[in-house]
Structure 1
Amino acid sequence: MTDEPDLQGQPPHTQDGRPASIVDLQEYRQSRDPLPVTFHRRELDAILWIYGRMVGEGEWRDYAIDHLKEKAVFSVFKRSGEYPLYRIEKNPKLASKQGAFSVVGADGRILKRGHELKQVLKVFDKALKLVE
């Protein structure tokens, strides 16, 4: 029992006298610990199609996928113990500016950036050569 009278029908108050508010627990958790950025199924299909082609040509051998808070990264390796040859990144914060998708080389230079993943992945297309 407490010394304070029951106030029926009035909202609860905090210790400093302000009215308390009701917070959705799921929204609170997402605001404190937001979900990581991920590749969608169609995006992963496009990336893995390029990856399979390059593995078939013997240029790539391994990959890693990182889902971070700010961006998702698909890294491609020649050997698993090395630095990545290329990183395919998805950064939603850049979607309204330069485009959410980019391909970054081993030296950190952005090779191609855009709004459409398929257009960005064209950086891996080989130029046809005339054979005589």
Structure 2
Amino acid sequence: MAAAPSPIRPEPFLAIGPSTIKEELRKERNRLRNQHWGNTTGLRQAKHLLGGYNLTRYGETLNLSKGKLRIITGFLTGHCRLRGHLHKLGIWSNDLCRFCDVNEETPVHLLSECEAVERRREGTWAITGQVTKQYNR
């Protein structure tokens, strides 16, 4: 007996709209971007302070003035006028925090650890208690 011929018909229909495809591509792009950020060597301090990649934060950063961008870049790289960095360069005699005189003065210390500037930090950011939680991961 001969095999029955297979019917000729259109390919199976898959109901996926263009917005679903765009959303999946966006998710994949974000996953790859975060994977690249995580796998990039170095950037220890920036990774600690920023966490992951954030497109909104990226856009806001591009609109900052040159002076503010310089300050943020200094904090993210650790190359700023804090005693920890100045001491490493041989410009300052010690690396102790000018406010608490206990720990090394670094951006991470000032933003999340220094008890001497805690009230000022919370008042400036108006997020009582959230600063330390955000940066001490």
If each structure's strand is expressed as a fraction of its own residues, which one has the higher value? 1
If each structure's helix is expressed as a fraction of its own residues, which one has the higher value? 2
